[in-house]
């Protein structure tokens, strides 16, 4: 499924999260009171971040040929409250979230991560990104399947999984690694640029064994060592944690300093 449309991330050779639905997520309607209304309010107040996620209809304007989905919200102009009297209000326009927003919202939920701005405002553009976490997991699956095929003496399948893993690793290095900042970032396939949203998923390539020794050191420097130095009262320690990385296709381990958590009680 992840190696064919619509889950392919443009021309990157990588995968993306993509949900087939373009209507409100049932769990949000049931358990997340007023979530979509707050999203609509945010986009209304931050128009520079609205990339077709909000549909606006002036009073008296005819409905579009393709009917919108989800709840509609009324935008009103009201007198600023100066007394305890009820302020007078007039309806200015009607807004609703677009189908593209709902597809992005559902794709974000497909990722298993909570709502954030990692894939655009409130995850609205999740299906427009080649994700670091997803492609690291797929690389790990492909290398695992290669090893399983080798164990079963199936040379043909082993060779095919090895080829797929090597190609994915090459594309991850090309599109998701940002050497200047020392992070693995998600890649926007429409704008053809890295995200700048720093997230814990930058560690996935280290766990999967596709980061080089130098990349692993840079990621840990940015995510662990820097955090320790910036933490009040942090103590230097000789404790280490091993992160699996690769260099020139051979597996190696990189030891990075970790904060001393004290002796167990």
What's the rounded Cα separation, in Å, for the pair 86 and 183?
52
Bond from prior residue into 21 cis (ω within 30 degrees of 0): no
- Cα 244 to Cα 242: distance, rounded to the nearest angstrom: 6
pLDDT score at 226: 58
Residues 248 and 149 in one domain: yes
Residues 46 and 111 in one domain: yes
How far apart are the C-alpha atoms of 2 and 109, rounded to whole Å? 16
Banded model confidence at residue 253, pLDDT cuts 50, 70, 90: very low
Q: Which contiguous run of DSSP H or E holds residue 199? A: none
Residue 52 and residue 122 share a domain: yes
Is 220 within a domain?
A: yes
Q: Are residues 137 and 109 in the same domain?
A: no
Give yes or no: residues 139 and 247 share one domain: yes
Higher pLDDT pick, 128 / 263? 128
**181 and 121, same structural domain?**
no
pLDDT digits (tens, 9 = 90+) for 164-204: 999 999 999 999 999 999 999 999 999 999 999 999 999 99
Q: How confident is the model at residue 104 (pLDDT cuts 50, 70, 90)?
A: very high
Q: Is the pLDDT of residue 91 over 70?
A: yes
- What are 91's strand-pairing partners? 76
Could you tell me if residue 109 is inside a domain? Answer: yes
Q: Is 113 inside a domain boundary? A: yes
d(CA 215, CA 212): 5
In a domain, 18, yes or no: no
Q: How many CA atoms lie within 13 A of 32 on its CB side?
A: 15
Q: Is the pLDDT of residue 41 over 90?
A: yes
Q: Domain end: 63, 94, 127, which one?
A: 127
Number of domains the chain contains: 2
Same domain flag for 117 and 158: no
How confident is residue 244, by pLDDT bands cut at 50, 70 and 90?
A: low
Q: How confident is the model at residue 88 (pLDDT cuts 50, 70, 90)?
A: confident
Residue 240 has pLDDT above 50, yes or no: no
What's the mean pLDDT in 206-231?
A: 81
Could you tell me if 89 and 76 are in contact, meaning their C-beta atoms sit under 8 angstroms apart?
yes
Same domain membership, residue 201 and residue 216 = yes
- Can you give the CATH number for the domain in which 169 is found? 1.50.10.10
Read off the pTM: 0.80
Longest dimension (CA), the chain: 82
pLDDT band at 148 (very low <50, low <70, confident <90, very high): very high
Q: Of 87, 106, 127, which closes a domain?
A: 127
Query: Given this model, what pLDDT does residue 227 score?
Result: 52
Q: Given this model, what pLDDT does residue 247 score?
A: 53
Q: Is the distance from CB of 94 to CB of 132 less than 8 angstroms?
A: no
With b for 16 or more beta-carbon neighbours within 10 A and e for fewer, the 44-79 pattern comes to: eeeeebbbebbbebeeeeeeeeeebbbeebebeeee
Residue 14 lies in a domain: no
**Residue 250 pLDDT:** 41
Same domain, yes or no: 122 and 136 = no
- Verify that 123 and 154 share a domain, yes or no: no
Q: How would residue 19 be classed by pLDDT, with cut points 50, 70 and 90?
A: very high
Picking from 61, 95, 127, the residue at the C-terminal end of a domain is 127
Domain with 118, as residue range(s), is 26-127
The answer, yes or no, to whether residue 236 has pLDDT greater than 50, is no
Residues 204 and 241 grouped into a single domain: yes
């Amino acid at each position: 499924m992840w190696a064919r449309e619509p889950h392919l991330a443009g021309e990157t050779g990588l995968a993306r999260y993509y949900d087939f639905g373009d209507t409100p997520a049932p769990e949000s309607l049931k358990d997340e009171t007023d979530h979509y209304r707050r999203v609509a309010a945010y986009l209304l107040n931050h128009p520079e971040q609205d990339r077709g996620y909000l549909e606006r209809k002036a009073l008296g304007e005819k409905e579009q040929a393709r009917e919108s989905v989800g709840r509609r919200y009324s935008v009103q102009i009201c007198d600023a409250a100066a007394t305890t009297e009820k302020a007078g209000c007039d309806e200015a326009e009607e807004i609703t979230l677009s189908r593209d927003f709902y597809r992005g919202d559902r794709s974000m939920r497909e990722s298993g991560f909570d709502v954030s701005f990692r894939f655009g405002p409130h995850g609205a553009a999740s299906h427009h990104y080649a994700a670091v976490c997803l492609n690291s997991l797929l690389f790990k699956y492909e290398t695992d399947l290669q090893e399983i095929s080798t164990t079963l003496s199936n040379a043909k399948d082993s060779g095919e999984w090895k080829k797929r893993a090597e190609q994915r690793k090459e594309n991850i290095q090309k599109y998701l690694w940002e050497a200047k900042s020392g992070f693995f970032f998600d890649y926007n396939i429409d704008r053809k640029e890295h995200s700048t949203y720093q997230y814990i998923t930058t560690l996935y390539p280290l766990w999967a064994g596709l980061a080089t020794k130098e990349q692993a050191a840079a990621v840990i420097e940015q995510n662990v060592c820097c955090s320790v130095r910036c933490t009040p009262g942090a103590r230097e320690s000789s404790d280490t944690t091993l992160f699996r990385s690769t260099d020139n296709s051979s597996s190696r381990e990189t030891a990075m300093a970790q904060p001393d958590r004290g002796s167990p009680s």
